[in-house]
Amino acid sequence: MLRLAIQSKGRLNEESTALLREIGIDIDDNRRKFLSQAPNFPLEVLYLRDDDIPQVVAAGTAGLGIVGLNEVEEQGLDVQVVSKLGFGACRLSLAVPRSADYDGPQWFAGKRIATSYPRILRAWLEEKGVQARIEVIKGSVEIAPAADIADAIFDIVSSGGTLVSNGLREVEQVFWSEAVLISSGKLDAEQQALLDELLFRISSAQISRRKKYILMNLPQSAVEEATRILPAMRSPTVMPLAAEGWCSMHSVVEEADLWDKIRQLKAIGAEGILVLNIDKIIP
């Protein structure tokens, strides 16, 4: 049995539970529950505040956790990041009032900076050789300059909208974060095997998320060229059509390249092109 700590409510909750479902693990959505056992995988899910997740994993109370890399870095506890999960992207940035004449890191010398991330901020200030005062605030850091509690803030930014609506300007991007799977590093052999199975399923889901299945009718004479345009896992599948001189070609393409490939395929005579979503890819 493996225990996984996830955020009980907040920005990472929904995508953490969606990821588990995507890899075939049913979990109870009853948020009042503190601990629930998946009926179809030897996994127990522990619902916590995100701040508590690194600690619970470091202590081994949960073997695994899903949490923002920002929390892992800030707390500096003994946990291992085993996989990036591709959601919850954000950054930790310094922001100053819009009217400030910011001219580089030395601007912060002697200033007060409000943050919930003192450790990451201190490391950055040290690296830049800047002496500033760190005011630790939990929550609503962005109002600190207007309330004259601080001259600047160091906080999470994703779109930047919150900064703008508080009259602030992002001046230094310091740390990039996304949701990660962390481990205590103290798993027994059975738990390690379960973690390997989870990682295998997560990577299959991640690979398929960026790919599309494409099929089309193609003149037989264009097959060789189409194979160059569409390198598949081994090579594209080619099947004869009833119509003389035509075949059907199937392959998998990166979503980012999709429109470029379609343009090239049309140019060599492809017709009836279908693009489908892929549920899983097992390489």
Task: Enumerate binding residues for Mg ion (CB under 5 A).
Answer: 50-51
Q: CB 130 → ligand ATP: shortest distance, Å?
A: 25
Beta 2-7 vs 43-48: how paired, if at all? Answer: parallel
Task: Quote the least distance from Cβ 8 to ligand ATP, whole Å.
Answer: 7
Q: Are 121 and 131 in contact (CB under 8 A)?
A: no
Taking CA atoms, 259 is separated from 6, 115, 237, 275, in Å, by 37, 44, 20, 11
The Cβ of residue 35 has, within 10 Å, a number of other Cβ atoms equal to 12
Candidates 10, 2, 29; CA nearest to 18 is 29
**Residue 142 contacts which entry, ligand ATP, Mg ion, none (Cβ below 5-8 A, type-dependent):** none
Residue 111 vs 169, nearer CB to ligand ATP: 169
Question: Which of Mg ion, ligand ATP, none does 17 bind, CB closer than 5 to 8 A by kind?
Answer: none
> Under DSSP, is residue 237 helix (H, G, I), strand (E, B) or coil?
strand
**Which residues lie closer than 8 Å to 2 by C-beta, 6 or more apart?**
42, 43, 44, 63, 64, 187, 191, 194, 195, 198
Q: Which listed option, Mg ion, ligand ATP, none, makes contact with residue 158 (CB within 5 to 8 Å by class)?
A: ligand ATP
Choose from Mg ion, ligand ATP, none: what does 12 bind? Cβ within 5-8 Å by kind: ligand ATP
Q: How far is the CB of 13 from ligand ATP (least distance, A)?
A: 7
Residues 251 and 226: their CA atoms lie apart, in Å, by 10
What's the order of all strands across the beta sheet hosting 90-97?
A: 133-136, 112-115, 152-157, 90-97, 168-177
Closer Cβ to Mg ion, 8 or 93, answer by number: 8
Q: Look at residue 68 and give the partner it binds from Mg ion, ligand ATP, none, a contact being a CB closer than 5 to 8 Å depending on partner kind.
A: ligand ATP
Which residue has the CB atom at the shortest distance from ligand ATP? 68
The interface partner of residue 88, options being Mg ion, ligand ATP, none and the CB cut-off 5 to 8 Å by kind, is ligand ATP
> How many residues in total does the chain contain?
283
Q: Which CB atom, from 73 or from 197, has the smaller least distance to ligand ATP?
A: 73
Binding site for ligand ATP (CB under 6 A): 7, 10-12, 49-51, 68, 70-71, 88, 90, 156, 158, 177
Q: How far is the CB of 229 from Mg ion (least distance, A)?
A: 48
